[in-house]
Structure 1
Amino acid sequence: AGGRGEQPIKFNGGLFTVGSDQFDEDYRQWGGGGFWFQNTRLIYWSMLESGDFELMDPFFLMHNRSLKLHEARSMRWYQHGGVRVPEVAMFWGGYAGETYGCEREDQPVWAVSNPYIRHSTSQGVELLAMQLERLWYFDIPSRAAGEFLEGLILPLLDGVVSFYTRHFQEDREGKLILSPSQCLETLQEAINPLPDVAGLVHVLRELLSLPASLLPASVLTALQGFSSKIPKVMTGRQRSNGQCERSARVTTKETLSCLQETRRPAGEDDTERFLPAELWLDKRENVENPELYPIFPFPLFGRFQPPSQNISHGIAASSFRHRRVSCNVGWCQDIIQASLLGLVNETVAMLVDRVRAPTLRFPGFWLQHFDFTPEVDHGVVAKLALQKMLIQSAGDKILLFPTWPRGWSVHFRLHARRNTVVEASCEEGRLVFLNISPPHRRKDVVFAGEACHPSRHEANLVEVEE
């Protein structure tokens, strides 16, 4: 019921709020009218494999209705067009008052008072990524896919690309310098933050991989031009003095410390990993791991993904192992990223830990970690990770049981790209049932993990790719 109305699901309690000795039953931490993008998005990422496509519409449509307001705000604030989706917005698209700031004396109109969201811009990119992933779950090409692309994706795409190209300067090589900017809420001063960069690379890759008949020629030309402006994904190694090399081509904000984000004990291997930005002020204000965004929500790198920008899977795995913050409650994404990296033992341990967390009277009504009681994100993150343990995509390939443990039995029915439904059973580590609809998609199935392969005499279950 909470997801079928005009408004998205509230991350801080859903339909339900719980009174206490301090607050009455109408209270919600983080407010009642606003939607935090970082917290709300995970609810909708978890709906793809489960096939709850109609439940995603309120989230998409709320943002679609706000595009004209975002354009007008950019013109008023910055004297240029484009769409910047706020991290904290009311359902009509305006900034929530307490985050924009109510004391406006001597403040320019564009000055957002809350430093946790002041310069954040990755929300529109992630919304595009989610809509593009939803597009792949249609039968492509089809009339429905074309209508979804034209009605939702292209207007947002035009606004987001316009904002990035008009708002930020270019360096001598024609690459965008994303500054002033920040890495989520955690690193509040940064140049070329990795969530933005990885998101733009991922979105452009997905768009350019669509059938050419879906995209107008003018859009294709514009995308190809814009792709040349996106900065590269930054990687680096720990230096003995705790610093990384300063980029010679970035000349703005020279006061930023170019400090490597990860601190490791002396003598540990000096392995390369993702950097959270090209330059950043090393003052952590939250528990996010921005250096892991190229794994999720922008899956450029993972055990089952082809290499991108000549960066190996090992760099992604190293980045995860040496992440600054380990967290397995609420909206923390560690378990999702572990499942996409194929880390079976780590994923299983985190899944068991999550589902054993204390609940209220009803199972699945989790106690508060970050948001409010019942804690919606705690459950949907576990749900999404469980789905990724069972099924993942790599282009048109359907990857089955990529992170599934050998000793677990399971029966599932989940959705995959290109209007595909997969139903399978695994018992004692062996595949005993598999049905793919439509049948022609059987040729795209790959048994990617170490568990639940069909026996040789059961080859008629599916075409097995060696």
Structure 2
Amino acid sequence: MTKNFLVCLFVIFSNYLSAQPKELATYNVVWTSGSKNSSESMPCGGGDIGLNVWVENGDVLFYLSRSGTFDENNQMLKLGRMRLKLSSNPFKGQDFRQELRLSEGGVRITGGDAELNLWVDVFNPVVHVDIKSRLATKLTAAYESWRLEDHLITGTEFRANSYRHKQPFDILTLKDDVSFQDNQIIFYHRNNPGKENIFDYTVKMEGMETVKNEMFDPVKNNTFGGLVRGKNMKPSGNDQGYYASTNFKSWKLESIKESRIFQLEIGLHVAQSPSLEDWKNDLQNVMRKSVSEQKTALVKTRNWWKDFWNRSYIFIDGSDSTISRNYQLFRYQLGCNAYGKWPTKFNGGLFTFDPEYVDKNYSYSPDFRLWGGGAMTAQNQRLVYFPMLKSGDFDMLKSQFDFYLNALHNAELRSKIYWNHNGASFTEQIENFGLPNISEYIIKRPPGYDAGMEYNPWLEYLWETVFEFCLMMLETERYEGRDIRLYIPFIESCLTFYDEHYQQLALKFGTKAFDENGHYILYPSTAAETFKMTYNSTTVISALKITLERLLALPDGYLDQKQKERWAAMLSRIPPMPFQQFGGHKTLAPAVVWSRVQNSETPQLYPVFPWGIYGVGKPDLDVAINTYKFDPHAVKFRSHIGWRQYSIFAARLGLTDEAVDLTREKFKDSKHRFPTFWGPGFDWTPDHNWGGSAMIGLQEMIMQVDDKKIYLLPAWPKHWNGKFKLHAPYQTTIQAEIKDGEISKLIVFPENRRADVVIK
């Protein structure tokens, strides 16, 4: 009797933990009228494919995007646009409905007698269109391409690729190949192996040619495209048109006869294939797999999305429910690139649309986005990935970690070539092959200027941002229990760079490698892009201190005794944190001294986030609060726009009212039809570092962690009722309901972690 009771109790408990929350369905986005243009599109995706879906004048349109579509110029190109037309034109009537169904991961469009379901296979890169109609109708499916001929890039259009500016030679976006083959449309772009590309040019201009043959090159032979096919469909010729300032040509398939059921498949493939035939064979393998798994693919995909939503959630009742709705919607956008080879780009991810609807000054093709495609900005990218720890999306961190692992050897070669010492030199604006963006590096520089340096007032000496990704790697060991041995050489190489480089600089400018207290002389350094030519920068000190402490705190088996001694010695050499005063209030300083203010970040609060040296439940909280309230730069730069992190700072400092106000602003509906297509902020639309920073701030309002301590509701207003499930270190999940500022129905798993929970 007792045994049966315990079994039933376990089943009930397990179901409560894993049951998909019913509130999720209320967050589905529903439109009851068509869209004016692509700016009123809806995201849909899975695996590493993103679609912008909209219905315009009864036509169903969607852009095709996939991770890794980098051309010769490291521009991230779209894979084309689809246009679907039913002869009965059911989606032009008054009963139109378009719905993003979060629990399923797909989009459903209904009207008249027809229903169209659009979904992406999470486990095989295939887009599916399933159409049912009560009355027999005909379908035309057109693939539209605007890359019809080699296109000369001019003016501000350069800002979409890694050249960024006009060069002494012509820069072209090369044309695609599109054709009918066996009742299918096949399309692809293959990077020309016989033409100098951005990798070749960057290596040459940055003086790395002597080691080029051993460098990682993700541009050479990169080939991307796909095919469109459908049952009982045949080619029906070409058409031409003009959409949002761009000419296009279409390749059309039409149904052989009228039918009530249609099924389309669009397979996509991206690879650095040795030959075009190899790439085509691999694409056919994708399609063969789609056939073999056609009975199970939809079920597996929907189960994946169900599990995704079961991992974590935040729901707020009442008038502020928009905050939690947009939290889930943006997390959905991130989930669409869960398994990409390349990380989600901060400047639009997979969901950019025609640029003139973001800024009328950029009337270019749908491929355009500011800040490029293959170039990564660490300060922005980190905000996209930090929230994945508390949301439990650990599998989604891999692509960002792999980005750095792939580029590690190239970054180490930089140190060898330029300075003849060890360690990986990662700059702030780097290409997907690990070298500085050539435009930010700046070719025109004074004679004798250090060839390893970016001759750039914003980016000079900005190397410490890589440690935030080191921190995420270390955090996955605590949060997920992941074996992170793969990442240890990377973390150690980043630390080695600072150890050897700043001893070298000290001996270059003086006679001693360390100061009178045996500490590093961190000069010249920088505090983010803002406080320049610093001595003992707060961001550098924080990054080195926490990375070393966390490395040394790893469980036995990660480091041998020699490694432990080496890193303990380095930790002992980190200088103390600098402070200053305003109106008699002690505050954190961005550095001991600096020469100028270049940007508008607030690095003096980075010891609060991301480094967690100051915060709720930690010593000297008042110093950090003083910094937030009284430092003139911190006050001046405060806002919610884009990558601004003030909602995170306020939450970590326990400033509830400020956190609420900033979080409301962060999560307000965007100016576009889809609520979380924020931007452009400082970057582009959709602004993914806007969404990521908003997520982090909301998570920190609910739960903060300090090693094993878990603080609940440290900056949560009493009038917000709701429920949440979040992840904490040591493979812990916290699930609870909140009412009138109190926790109810608290479930801590595993139960033995309940003793570490502190309700503030």
- TM-score with structure 2 setting the length: 0.52
Q: Show CA shifts across 1:156-215 (max 9, x none).
A: 222122111211132232211111211111122111111000111122222333334543
Q: Hey, what's the Cα distance between the residues in 1 that align with 2:429 and 2:369?
A: 15
Aligned to 2:597: 284
Query: 466, 471, 481: which is aligned to 1:129?
Result: 471
1:10 and 2:345 aligned: yes
Q: Hey, what's the Cα distance between the residues in 1 that align with 2:680 and 2:404?
A: 27
Question: Which of 1 and 2 has higher RCO (CA within 8 Å, sep 6+)?
Answer: 1
- Structure 1 stretch displaced more, 182-191 or 289-298: 182-191
Q: For the Cα contact (< 8 Å) 2:585–2:630, is it kept in 1?
A: no
Q: 1:162 to 1:429 in 2, by over 3 A?
A: closer
Q: For the Cα contact (< 8 Å) 2:538–2:590, is it kept in 1?
A: yes
Structure with greater proportional strand content? 2
Query: 588, 607, 614: which is aligned to 1:274?
Result: 588
1:405 Cα shift?
A: 0.7
Q: For the Cα contact (< 8 Å) 2:445–2:455, is it kept in 1?
A: no
Q: Hey, what's the Cα distance between the residues in 1 that align with 2:453 and 2:478?
A: 38
1:84 and 2:419 aligned: no
Aligned to 1:119: 461
Query: 697, 712, 716: which is aligned to 1:404?
Result: 716
Structure 2 residue matching 1:165: 3-state secondary structure: helix
Aligned to 1:316: 624
1:174 and 2:523 aligned: no
Structural mapping, 1:347-362, within 5 Å: 347-356=659-668, 358-362=670-674
Q: For the Cα contact (< 8 Å) 2:474–2:550, is it kept in 1?
A: yes
Q: 1:368 to 1:404 in 2, by over 3 A?
A: same
Q: Show CA shifts across 1:246-304 (max 9, x none).
A: xxxxxxxxxxxxxxxxxxxxxxx3111111111111x2221101111100011001122
Structure 2 residue matching 1:113: 3-state secondary structure: coil
1:386 and 2:698 aligned: yes
Q: Hey, what's the Cα distance between the residues in 1 that align with 2:732 and 2:388?
A: 15
1:338 and 2:650 aligned: yes
Q: 1:166 to 1:430 in 2, by over 3 A?
A: closer
Q: Hey, what's the Cα distance between the residues in 1 that align with 2:344 and 2:387?
A: 13
Structural mapping, 1:187-266, within 5 Å: 187-238=531-582
Q: For the Cα contact (< 8 Å) 2:705–2:728, is it kept in 1?
A: yes
Aligned to 2:379: 38
1:318 Cα shift?
A: 0.3
Q: Hey, what's the Cα distance between the residues in 1 that align with 2:383 and 2:602?
A: 15
Q: Hey, what's the Cα distance between the residues in 1 that align with 2:422 and 2:558?
A: 26
1:151 Cα shift?
A: 0.6
1:105 Cα shift?
A: 8.0
Counterpart code for 1:76: I
Q: Hey, what's the Cα distance between the residues in 1 that align with 2:445 and 2:605?
A: 36
Structure 2 residue matching 1:32: 3-state secondary structure: coil
Aligned to 1:464: none
Q: Hey, what's the Cα distance between the residues in 1 that align with 2:658 and 2:345?
A: 30
Q: For the Cα contact (< 8 Å) 2:530–2:598, is it kept in 1?
A: yes
Q: For the Cα contact (< 8 Å) 1:360–1:367, is it kept in 2?
A: no
Q: For the Cα contact (< 8 Å) 1:84–1:124, is it kept in 2?
A: no
Aligned to 2:215: none
Aligned to 2:405: 64
Q: CA RMSD in A?
A: 1.6
Aligned to 1:110: 452
Q: Hey, what's the Cα distance between the residues in 2 that align with 1:384 and 1:174?
A: 37
Ranges in structure 2 where 5+ consecutive residues have no aligned partner: 1-335, 507-513
Aligned to 1:422: 734
1:429 Cα shift?
A: 2.6
The sequence identity of aligned pairs, in percent, is 32
Aligned to 2:493: 159
- Which protein is bigger by CA-based radius of gyration? 2
Counterpart code for 1:276: P
- TM-score with structure 1 setting the length: 0.83
Q: Hey, what's the Cα distance between the residues in 1 that align with 2:759 and 2:554?
A: 25
- Structure 1 stretch displaced more, 20-29 or 347-356: 20-29
Q: Show CA shifts across 1:213-266 (max 9, x none).
A: 54322221111111111011011224xxxxxxxxxxxxxxxxxxxxxxxxxxxx
Q: Hey, what's the Cα distance between the residues in 2 that align with 1:329 and 1:379?
A: 10
- Structure 1 stretch displaced more, 105-114 or 197-206: 105-114
Q: Hey, what's the Cα distance between the residues in 2 that align with 1:4 and 1:360?
A: 27
Ranges in structure 1 where 5+ consecutive residues have no aligned partner: 239-268, 449-466
1:327 Cα shift?
A: 2.0
Q: For the Cα contact (< 8 Å) 2:453–2:461, is it kept in 1?
A: no
